[in-house]
Amino acid sequence: MSMVGDVRLDISPKTNRTEYGNIDTLDFPRGSFDTVVCDPPFSYYRRFKWVFKLSDIAKHRFILSGPTCAFYLGSQWKEELYALKSGGRFLRLWYVFDRLDERLLTEVFT
């Protein structure tokens, strides 16, 4: 039900989506968005290829809410982990990945 972002992709019509779709069938070219924010259902954490698909469409930053597990997207990303209070007693972990060398973006995304 988030209102964050210009493009909100979801399969459920009961959300605030702007487009129908899911992370298994992303149809966006590399570097389509400056920042990609993802708060997926925890059932997706049994397989991880979707993480790379999402990071591929992020030009500068990829923010991922996740459970307590390790993510490594490669040496092109600087990663930070934030724990934010959510709904009273719960902490949500947010992984933030920033591209290390944005000079490469000129060659790759233009």
pTM reported for the whole predicted model: 0.62
Predicted confidence at residue 53, as pLDDT, reads 82
Sign of CA dihedral 17, 35, 4, 39: positive
Residue in the structure block whose two tokens are 């070219």: 29
Q: Report the percent of the chain where pLDDT is more than 90.
A: 11
Quote the CA–CA distance of 15 and 102 in Å, as a whole number.
34
Q: CA 25, 58, 10, 46: dihedral to nearest 10 degrees?
A: 70
Better-scored residue on pLDDT, 9 or 87: 9
pLDDT in tens, 21-31: 887 778 899 99
User: 98 pLDDT exceeds 80?
Assistant: yes
Average pLDDT over every residue of 3-16:
87
pLDDT digits (tens, 9 = 90+) for 31-81: 999 999 887 766 665 667 778 888 889 999 888 876 656 666 777 788 777
Could you give the domains of the chain? Answer: 9-109 (3.40.50.150)
The DSSP symbol for 98 reads: E
